[in-house]
Amino acid sequence: SDIIATYLIELWNKTKICEICNKKMENHTQYPFGKHLDHKIPLKSPFLGSHTKDNIRYIHAICNLNRDYSELNPKNFPKNRST
């Protein structure tokens, strides 16, 4: 992982709009419109994304918890995650 705490703070501060719904983000973590850390490509199977800078973002809590991943095609992801 190439993520350190200072990067997460910088990302938090610069994230103003949710990439899922394109609405303004609020600067807290509470449901529904607070910020949640999201993995664009999920860590869980079958997606096997990574915990790296290019795969994380902050989105609304409600958008994260209701995300159905239909925009992702698992055929494009690796079969095994390197550790």
* 30-56 pLDDT tens trace: 999 999 999 999 888 778 889 999 999
Nearest residue to 71 via CA among 38, 28, 37: 38
- Element containing residue 62 per DSSP (H, E): helix 61-65
pTM of the model: 0.80
Q: Distance between CA atoms of 3 and 9, rounded to whole angstroms?
A: 11
Residues paired with 35 in a beta bridge: 60
For residue 44, the number of C-alpha atoms closer than 13 Å in the C-beta half-sphere is 2
* 49-83 pLDDT tens trace: 899 999 999 999 999 999 887 777 655 555 554 44
Nearest residue to 11 via CA among 49, 53, 64: 53
- Whether 3 shows a pLDDT value over 50: the answer reads yes
* For residue 78, cis peptide bond before it (omega within 30 degrees of 0): no
pLDDT of residue 59: 97
